[in-house]
Amino acid sequence: MENLWNDTEAGKHQGYLAERVYTSRLLGANPDLVLHGGGNTSVKGVWKNIFGEDEETLYVKGSGSDLATIELKDFVPVRLEDMLKLSRLERLPDTEMARELRLATLDPAAPAPSVEAILHALIPHRFVDHTHADAIVTITNTAAGEARIREIYGDEVIVLPYVMPGFDLARLCAEAFPAQATPRTIGMVLMNHGIFSFGDSAKQSYDRMIELVGRAGDYLNRNAQIAPATNIEASADWVALAALRKKVSAAAGFPMLLRTCASGAALAFARHPEAASISQRGPATPDHVIRTKRVPMFGREVDAYARAYVQYFERNSKPARQPLTMLDPAPRVIVDTEFGLVTAGRSARETRIAEDIYSHTMDIILRGEALGGYQALGEADLFNMEYWDLEQAKLKKAGAPKAFAGEVALVTGAASGIGKACVQSFLNRGAAVVAVDISADVESLYGMREDYLGIIADLTSPEAIRGMLEQTLRHFGGLDMLVLNAGVFPGGKKIDALSDEEWHRVMAVNLDSNLTLLRETHPLLKAAPKYGRVVVIGSKNVPAPGPGAAAYSASKAALTQLARVAALEWGADAIRINLVHPNAVFDTGIWTPEVLAQRAAHYGMTVDEYKRNNVLREEVTSKDVAELTAEMCGELFAKITGAQIPIDGGNDRVI
């Protein structure tokens, strides 16, 4: 376990709160310690109130904060004395505890304090660190886990049985700490959950965490080696992933994204002779409750899983707790011999978090097996975590998901103009978006957003199209909405000057590539959970062509006919296909300020008059076209297919 402390960097963080931020980030930088908002840190200090008085204060990580990126504002100041008083109560339901924690907060603008605030307050050290270290969780998830922990650490750590975080855990700690602590005690292990370290300085607490976890790692290296996964390759039919996604979405009751990891480790785990058994023994820690299913017999397993939870709910829920918001029965993790590790979620972020967590869980399970047998907590503890009162409160407060949550849109010609605006419109509605363009700009348009995948591709190449669709499936699991926007508009040439080469180039981009796209995406759109939708970006030149644009006008007219035929053929698959015909959209790359000024002057108009030269005297923008395009994929157009809608402010030749 590498110690990341750096004296030079640490020197830039002056004061106990700044030091707390620094070492918290060091913990968060190591995924073997902390994953996606897990773990917790705190420091005891003072808060100067409005009267100039110093109040003893616990600064604890705020709920929802991530140790990897935590800042000063993410540490919530709560009255230390209030935390200690709460710990002396005989009983405190978690919902009431959350209310009391909020009332004890000294800064009303701060996030909600961690539910472990009382526990941190009880530990008689200034700095407290808590992680879900893989090595600790591995050892404690075995039959002889407690004995092994005591063998490794002796009286240097306090060992507590698993209790769900909250008031009951704080009470247990209040009783156990005085009874078990010795002058040598530098940490505390909570079985099946994680480890705490503490000290008088941020460095001391951090160093102790690294040292304690390192010793557990060394123990595993000596006693639980697993063979590295090498020379294992995926042989998946990626189109079949769309059908799997439809089954998962049907189980959930709403569209879900899938993300695949076909690494050697994932494939080796999926092909493990005991995978059907070891994958069903529960998560490494209840904080990481993830439903795991194997693909074979998928439908029956989902049904059985749903029944098991309903039955457990009926046996164990008390009238005072009803009604619970029952979670959907769809799996969030699937292990498959061909796909490897498949994770499901309503958003791209959810699928990545599940992938990260289960990638660590696979290693924990295999090491636990090598250590005598992996065993997680029982059904009751997992149920209590998944249906915890505080989690129920979060579910009830959560707003309705966005219109396209869990769905995937693919936009061609997405690096600029109408295509770029379409990407934004779909993202705004909650879709995961695959943006395709021949320009390299498409890769970095939205930085590191998890719901955006930019792909460079020449759509005149069928091989490039198939490769692009495989990337789409690997990242998001399927396709729901397709926007055919890519096209070229060559310089004006009359027919007698139009070369065969230029004619074929325009047809290849504007027509032939779209035929290939439609053909290759058909099975994906057919498998879309809410059925596929296609929007074709046509042109005013279809109903009202002009001179000098024979190749462009003909290609767009042919594309329109192709879309109409597809609407007829694919209606039986519940795939709807509609077209928009924009005109005079001037905020695109070809309309530079100079070109606009020249065209306006040619007609004796100002630039603004030229932009609004239509029946309604309204400027049509890329965003206008994009918003209509996205809306045509929504519920408003659910019973419309084969429609052609002009978006041009009213053109007298079209009307």
CA distance 95 to 87: 15
Buried b / exposed e over 611-639, threshold 16 CB at 10 Å, is bbbbeeeebbbbbbbbbbbbebbeeebee
Three-class DSSP category at 341: strand
**Residue 158 DSSP class:** E
Give the count of alpha carbons within 13 A of 545, CB side only.
15
Question: Other C-beta atoms within 10 Å of 369: how many?
Answer: 19
Phi, psi (deg, nearest 5) at residue 206 = -65, -45
**Residue 422 DSSP class:** H
CA distance 329 to 500: 58
Nearest by Cα to 78 from 37, 107, 115: 107
Question: Other C-beta atoms within 10 Å of 8: how many?
Answer: 6
Nearest by Cα to 72 from 98, 99, 38, 107: 107
Q: Give me 12's structure tokens.
A: 């830039």
Give 371's contacts (C-beta < 8 A, 6+ positions apart): 138, 139, 142, 148, 220, 223, 224
The H-or-E segment that residue 483 falls in is strand 481-484
Give 145's contacts (C-beta < 8 A, 6+ positions apart): 139, 191, 192
CA dihedral 125, 130, 136, 142 (to 10 degrees): 100
The H-or-E segment that residue 555 falls in is helix 550-570
Annotated active-site residue in 59, 305, 358, 552:
552
Is 552 part of the annotated catalytic residue set? yes
Question: Which sequence positions are flagged as catalytic?
Answer: 552
